[in-house]
Structure 1
Amino acid sequence: MRIAIAGGGLGGLTLARVLHRHGIDAVVYERDASRSARSQGGTLDLHPESGQRALAEAGLADGFRSQARPEGEEHRIVDPSGRILVHHEPQPGSFSGRPEIDRSALRDLLLDSLPGDTVVWRRRLVAATPRPGGGWELAFEGGHRSHCDILVGADGARSIVRPLLVDVELSPVSAVVELMVSDVDRRHPGLAELVGPGNLWCVGVNQILSAQRLGDGSLRVGISLRADDRPVDTLRDKPALLDIFAGWDPRLTALIEAADSAPTPRLIEATPIDTRWSSRPGVTLLGDAAHLMAPVGEGANQAMLDAAELAGRLAANPADPDAAIRSYEDAMFARIHPIAEMSARVQAMMLSPTAADDIVRFFTPRAAEPASTT
């Protein structure tokens, strides 16, 4: 049984790792030239019931604990004047909640747990066609070709594998801009104190300015706007971004001014909440390829859980992988639907005229709970 995984993100690598633990080989085809070819983004809060559970099944729970930062779970929410609305502080050193880990550190943890030849770099999948006797012929950018018995699309929002199963139209969710502030403790101690060890959200009307502490001492600054408010191409320079937040406390807009990277804008999209498909032999999807959701903290967690559950079912029924895939898909559809609905509601709440009041109500119960509660 030759298994090909398109995409070497967190979902694809988790699938390869859990399969490897069950003695099943897989090949991961990744478009990047190497693990360090591009930034992997900010930090993730791994949830006990999904991301952490997947890492436990991958045998990497101890590795996660050595890399994670429980203090990164601290969360501050302020209004445009800088007034604190919510301040959630986790119990020091506790892993009982949703500790943060840098995406790059988590990806390296997964990569280092796999045999060296598992990931084939510089392989951007461009087409997959059925073979007469079953399985798939794979074509990659640059003319490379391969084949497999089972193809798993873990290739993200613009999945090449997805059209083999379902035809969906992505819908715009928001426009986001990312900037970076390096060496913040030394160069901008005031911003370091403002953000703290975790996350800061500055919530206005239909817009959010956020900052996130990374393990390397930098800040990842994010701007979130409604998708139809401004063309993404108009968000490429600092003056335009500062105009959006005119009248906000200068301590907050200093996050934009201090950035030492060019603004990186992009449109965030989602698949329809009720996306599903009729099972097809030898192919399936996981993560964003299967269920692209609003970015409110569930995407990577659910992708990793998808991977662990798919690997478990394939390992439990190696004689009938198509039945294993059908079982995985049925369970995944049932699990994801309410999560996708919740994600859409939270995203709409965050970018609304009443966002500050709504977010305070949303987070206050959690902030009032004992720090050890998950």
Structure 2
Amino acid sequence: MRIAIAGGGLGGLTLARILHRHGIGAVVYEREAGRSARSQGGSLDLHPESGQRALADAGLAGRFRSTARPEGEEHRILDPAGRVLVHHTPRPGSFDGRPEIDRAALRDLLLDSVPGDAVAWRHRLVAATPRPGGGFELAFDGGDRAGCDLLVGADGARSAVRSLLTDAPLSCVAVLVELSIRDADRRHPDLAELVGPGNLWCIGVSQILAAQRLGDGSIRVGISLPADDLPAEDLPAEDLGADDRLHTYRGKPALLELFDGWDPALTALIEAGDGPTMRRIEAMPTGTRWAHRPGVTLIGDAAHLMPPVGEGANQAMLDAADLAAALAAGPADPDAAIRTYEEAMFTRIHPIAEMSARVQAMMLSPTAADDIVRFFTRPAEPAAAG
């Protein structure tokens, strides 16, 4: 059985790694030129029940612990005047919660765990054509071709594989403007102290100024705005969005205007940052499903693109672990394995996608500060009996 995985992100590489552990070969086709071709983004928190579980299935839990930053789980929420609304401090050195790890470090960990020939770089999938006897003929940008018996779309928000299964539309739910502060401890010690080792959210009316400490000592600054707050001409074009490129925004003066009246200690994050760049935040409709089709399936953002509120990468890695487990348990009947994976994934993802949509809307609402404080300080639900 020849397995092709379109996309070498966290989901695709997790799938390749776990299949490899079960003695099942797969080729990951990745459009980038190499692991360092572009920035992999900021930091993410891996959840015990999803991302960390997938890494355990991949045999990488120990290496994850040696790379992750449990102190990065610290989280402060401020108002525009700089008053602290919520301050979560993790237990020092504990991996019981959701430790942070830089996306680049996690991707490198996964890349180092698969055979060197398992990733075909510079292979952007442009078409997958069904073959009469089953499987697909794959065509890549530049003219290369390959065949496979099973195709897994792990190719993100604008998946080339998704159209084989569903025509679910994407909608723009927010705009994210990003800046980067390099070598913060030396160049901007006041901002390094403000952000701390983890995440900082400054919440206003329908706008958020956030900052996140990365493992290399830099600070990633993000400004979240409602999608309809900016003129249409300021949004990235659809075709460029498919390339996942970031686009230069109108400049710092326009950004600083948006935060007029905020504490200067907070807006200093914008003034110190390199950039800015912007991108759409898109999502698929909650509850998206598709009818099973032999020889093809989807994982991660290709299957269930959600607002980025902490679940996307975790669920992509869990998708990979569940699909790999199903294929390993029934290698003689891969279509039955795919059906098992898909039905379980649809059931698991639906409430998570609903929650992600609610949190995204709450974060950019006029009453966001009160709503988020209630969300993060609500009492824990009692454990179910039995």
TM-score where L is the length of structure 2: 0.94
**Equivalent of residue 248 in structure 1, options 243, 262, 268:** 262
SS in 1 for 2:317: helix
CA distance in 1 between partners of 2:257 and 2:165 (Å): 44
Q: In 2, are the aligned partners of 1:236 and 1:265 still within 8 Å (CA)?
A: no
Give the match for residue 343 of structure 1: 356
SS of match in other structure, 1:325: helix
Select which of 341, 359, 364 maps to 2:372: 359
C-alpha contact (below 8 Å) 1:5/1:12 kept by paired residues: yes
Name the CA distance, whole Å, in 2 between partners of 1:103 and 1:242.
28
Separation in structure 2 between the aligned mates of residue 267 and residue 3 of structure 1, nearest angstrom: 32
2:81 corresponds to which residue?
A: 81
**Counterpart in 2 of 1:372?**
none
| Residues 92-111 of structure 1: pairs in structure 2 closer than 5 A | 92-111=92-111
SS of 1:289's partner is helix
Deviation at 1:364, TM superposition (A): 1.4
Aligned length: 367
Residue in 1 that maps onto 2:119: 119
- TM-superposed deviation, 1:274: 1.2
CA distance in structure 2 between the aligned counterparts of 1:57 and 1:173, rounded to whole angstroms: 33
**1:9-158 equivalence runs, <5 A:** 9-158=9-158
CA distance in 2, matches of 1:121, 1:316: 30
Counterpart code for 1:22? H
Residue 212 of structure 1 aligns to a residue whose secondary structure is strand
Structure-to-structure mapping, 1:146-295, within 5 angstroms: 146-231=146-231, 233=234, 235-259=249-273, 261-295=274-308
What's the CA shift string for 1:328-364, capped at 9, x where partnerless? 0000000000000000000010000000000001111
Query: In structure 1, what is the equivalent of residue 240 of structure 2?
Result: none
* Counterpart-to-counterpart distance in 2, 1:303 and 1:118: 19
Q: Say if 1:74 and 1:198, in contact at 8 Å, map to a contact too.
A: yes
Please state whether the residue corresponding to 2:304 is helix, strand or coil.
coil
Amino acid at match of 1:363: F
1:273·1:340 contact (CA, 8 Å) conserved in 2? yes
State the alpha-carbon separation in 1 of the partners of residues 167 and 218 from structure 2. Answer: 40
C-alpha deviations, 1:183-217, integer Å up to 9, x for none? 00000000000000000000000000000000000
1:300-315 to 2 correspondences below 5 Å: 300-315=313-328
Contact 1:221 1:255 in 2 (8 A): yes
Q: Report percent identity of matched pairs.
A: 80
Deviation per residue, 1:220-259 (Å, 9 max, x gap): 0000000111137273311111111011000000000001
Equivalent position amino acid for 1:242 in 2: L
Query: Once the 2 structures are TM-superposed, how far is the Cα of residue 131 of structure 1 from its aligned partner?
Result: 0.7
| Amino acid paired to 1:37 | A
CA–CA distance in 2 between the matches of 1:73 and 1:97?
8
Q: Determine the structure 2 residue equivalent to 1:319.
A: 332
Once residues 133 and 284 of structure 1 are traced to their aligned partners in structure 2, the CA distance between those partners, rounded to angstroms, is 18
CA–CA distance in structure 2, aligned partners of residues 15 and 343 of structure 1:
24
Amino acid across the alignment from 2:290: W
- Inter-partner Cα distance in structure 2 for 1:66 and 1:145: 39
1:5 paired residue number:
5
* CA deviation vs aligned residue, 1:94-116 (integer Å, no higher than 9, x gap): 00000000000000000000000
User: How far off is 1:172 after superposition?
Assistant: 1.1
5+ residue gaps, structure 1, are 370-374
SS in 1 for 2:270: helix
In the alignment, the residues of structure 2 paired with residue 168 and residue 342 of structure 1 have an alpha-carbon distance, to the nearest angstrom, of 19
Q: CA deviation at 1:168?
A: 1.0
Residues in 1 aligned to 2:198 and 2:229: alpha-carbon distance in whole angstroms: 29
Whole-angstrom distance in 2 between the partners of 1:325 and 1:22: 17
User: 1: CA distance between counterparts of 2:178 and 2:299?
Assistant: 26
RMSD of aligned residue pairs (Cα, Å): 1.1
Structure 1 residue identity aligned to 2:53: R
Runs of 4+ residues deviating >3 angstroms: none
TM-score by length of 1: 0.97
Q: Deviations over 1:52-78 (max 9, x none)?
A: 000000000000000000000000000
**Aligned counterparts of 1:123 and 1:29: Cα–Cα separation in 2:** 5
Report the Cα distance in structure 1 between the residues aligned to 2:95 and 2:145, rounded to whole angstroms. Answer: 44
1:228 aligns to what SS in structure 2? helix
Cα separation, 2, equivalents of 1:231 and 1:5: 37
**In structure 2, the residue corresponding to 1:256 is in which secondary structure?**
helix
Instruction: For 2:226 and 2:374, locate their aligned partners in 1 and report how far apart those are by CA, in whole Å.
Output: 21
